[in-house]
């Protein structure tokens, strides 16, 4: 076993670079060798030559700085990363795990990718996902499902399942995902890694293929909280290319919150009653550990949160229907070989859009109905109004506590195929995660325990809008309460 198999953090990697134990090229080659067999089906495209070229540049930077990592200018020097395949990387295929974009080559890089590579990160390749980020299990990819890193019969979570599985399996050190209703936090919980959804607007969406524009947010997945915080510090900050980008400075990083006197809210309406016994046990052990460490665990009320799933699956599918209308085989997207025999424009579009998978088609149809004449007031506008009430409830609760604690998912990772025949049951799996997206507040998943089968169970923390640094600091303190330093 290579010493590189024990590599767990950016800090450890940089110490090895500075001691001369490892070089960026050797590290990059190691991770490419881990990723190339694609045992988990986590990768769609590997960028081997690009990655090795970036490793050579990283070695030049080290030489110019006397063998030291210039953390002020290149805080992620030589860090091997994976990028979810709905984020553009210039000159590299971007598929969104769909046959609709199977041959598309991105002409530019997403802002987050540009910032990572400018900070010295090395792009190993593009990671598998649910098609167009629509799904919570990673069973909807046109390139096949991603396997769970330790239990191949289970799902890794979605839609950023490739990102979580690759990080957990040591095929990249950190990865980027996107989160529309839990798509970073769910796979992070299932795979036993850290996943952070920042405040809406803290991280640029420029270069991210939109699913639901008012909900999507890019964030990191990592094996250490410190690594996730370092990546956020690089990718956050205002972007003039992105209209919803907040005029806030980059996330500064992570301190450590004082646990004694910390006020942790537990939503009365999000009780553990709907959760599996192992998830309830994890939450109860977390609450007990917090109290023993001096935190105040306070019941908070979120009276409208019970409507979150219904609101989310109107807002998200409506925005998806609008965003994906451009993929018609004329303006964007592949053209079906059968389109040449179409006898009408309607048939031409129908044949081309048959390239979408079943789940994407379902959501487009639902969204088109919600936006249709005579129904938009009844569905989309009403959902938008209730969404504002849910956000008000969360803001009100967070005015009296420092964070809100909940499960990430009702169960640990379930078996592949277990919920595919019942879309409603699959959608209900997002119960705990969608409120943060509807309100635009930061939320993260951190590993807490494992069940009798060894499956990871994460807990979710939600924080005040814009207070991403504070939420990271609180999460670090949770790790110490658990008896493990998360950095």
Weakest mean pLDDT among 12-21, 185-194, 264-273, 444-453 = 264-273
Q: How confident is the model over 265-269, as a mean pLDDT? A: 91
Among 9, 84, 321, 419, which one carries the catalytic annotation? Answer: 84
Global confidence as pTM? 0.96
Q: How many CB atoms lie within 10 A of CB 67?
A: 11
Does the structure show a pLDDT above 80 at 185?
yes
DSSP 153-222: TB---SSSHHHHHHHHTTSSSEEEEEESSSTTHHHHHHHT-EEEEPPTTSB--TTBPPSSTTT-EEEEEE
The predicted pLDDT at position 273 comes to 64
Does the structure show a pLDDT above 50 at 68?
yes
Domains of the chain, earliest start first: 1-303+403-487 (3.90.1300.10), 309-378 (no CATH)
> Please, which pLDDT band fits residue 254 given cuts at 50, 70 and 90?
confident
In the chain, % of residues over pLDDT 70: 98
Does the structure show a pLDDT above 90 at 256?
no
Q: How confident is the model over 40-47, as a mean pLDDT? A: 98
Among 98, 137, 141, 159, which one carries the catalytic annotation? Answer: 159
What is the rounded average pLDDT for all residues in the chain?
Answer: 95
Q: How confident is the model over 275-286, as a mean pLDDT? A: 95
Interior angle at CA 235, CA 194 and CA 179, nearest 5: 50
Q: Which residue has the higher pLDDT, 183 or 8?
A: 183
Among 183, 321, 465, 473, which one carries the catalytic annotation? Answer: 183
Query: How buried is residue 36: exposed, middle or buried, by Cβ count under 10 Å (0-12/13-18/19+)?
Result: middle
The predicted pLDDT at position 486 comes to 46
Interior angle at CA 115, CA 110 and CA 117, nearest 5: 95
Q: How confident is the model over 32-41, as a mean pLDDT? A: 98
Q: Is 361 known to be catalytic?
A: no
Q: Is 159 known to be catalytic?
A: yes
pLDDT of 52-64, one tens digit each?
999 999 999 999 9
DSSP 444-460: EEEEEEE-TT--EEEEE
Q: To which H or E segment does residue 33 belong? A: helix 24-35
Weakest mean pLDDT among 153-157, 316-320, 346-350, 417-421 = 346-350
Cβ atoms of 115 and 234 within 8 Å: the answer is yes
Q: Which two tokens stand for residue 253?
A: 């990083």
Q: Which two tokens stand for residue 431?
A: 């119960």
Q: Is 183 known to be catalytic?
A: yes
């Amino acid at each position: 076993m290579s010493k590189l198999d024990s590599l767990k953090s950016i800090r450890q990697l940089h110490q090895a670079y500075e001691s001369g134990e490892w070089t960026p090229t050797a590290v990059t080659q190691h991770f490419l060798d881990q990723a190339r067999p694609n045992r988990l089906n986590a990768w769609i495209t590997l960028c081997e030559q690009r990655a090795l070229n970036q490793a050579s540049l990283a070695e030049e930077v080290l030489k110019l700085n006397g063998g030291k990592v210039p953390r002020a200018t290149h805080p992620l020097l030589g860090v091997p990363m994976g990028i979810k395949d709905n984020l553009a990387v210039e000159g590299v295929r971007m598929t969104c795990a769909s046959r609709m974009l199977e041959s598309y080559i991105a002409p530019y890089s997403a802002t987050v990718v540009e910032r990572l590579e400018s900070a010295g990160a090395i792009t190993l390749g593009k990671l598998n996902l649910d098609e167009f980020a629509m799904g919570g299990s990673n069973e909807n990819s046109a390139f096949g499902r991603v396997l769970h890193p330790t239990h191949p019969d289970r799902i890794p979570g979605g839609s950023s399942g490739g990102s979580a599985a690759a990080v957990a399996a040591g095929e990249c050190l950190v990865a980027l995902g996107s989160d529309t209703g839990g798509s970073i936090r769910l796979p992070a919980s299932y795979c036993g890694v850290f996943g952070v959804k920042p405040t809406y607007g803290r991280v640029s969406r420029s270069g991210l293929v939109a699913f639901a524009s008012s909900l999507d947010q890019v964030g990191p997945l990592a094996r250490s909280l410190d690594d996730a915080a370092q990546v956020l510090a690089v990718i956050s900050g205002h972007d003039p290319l992105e209209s919803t980008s907040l005029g806030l400075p980059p996330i500064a990083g992570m301190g450590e919150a004082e646990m004694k006197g910390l006020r942790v809210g537990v939503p009365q309406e999000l009780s553990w009653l709907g959760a599996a016994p192992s998830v309830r046990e994890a939450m109860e052990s977390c609450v007990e550990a917090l109290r023993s460490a001096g935190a105040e665990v306070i019941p908070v009320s979120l009276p409208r949160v019970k409507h979150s799933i219904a609101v989310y699956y109107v807002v998200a599918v409506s925005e998806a229907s609008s965003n994906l209308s451009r993929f018609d085989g004329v303006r964007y997207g592949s053209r079906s070989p059968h389109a040449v025999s179409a006898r009408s424009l309607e048939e031409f579009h129908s044949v081309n859009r048959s390239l979408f998978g079943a789940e994407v088609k379902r959501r487009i149809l639902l969204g088109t109905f919600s936006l249709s004449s005579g129904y938009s007031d009844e569905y989309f506008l009403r959902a938008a109004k209730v969404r504002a009430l849910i956000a008000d409830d969360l803001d009100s609760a967070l005015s009296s506590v420092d964070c809100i604690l909940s499960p990430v998912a009702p169960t640990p990772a379930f078996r592949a195929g277990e919920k595919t025949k019942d879309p409603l049951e699959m959608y209900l799996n997002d119960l705990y995660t969608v409120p943060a997206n509807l309100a635009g507040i930061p939320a993260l998943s951190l590993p807490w325990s494992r069940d009798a089968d060894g499956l990871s169970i994460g807990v979710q923390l939600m924080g005040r809008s814009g207070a991403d640094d504070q939420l990271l600091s609180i999460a670090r303190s949770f790790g110490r309460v658990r008896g493990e330093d998360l950095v």
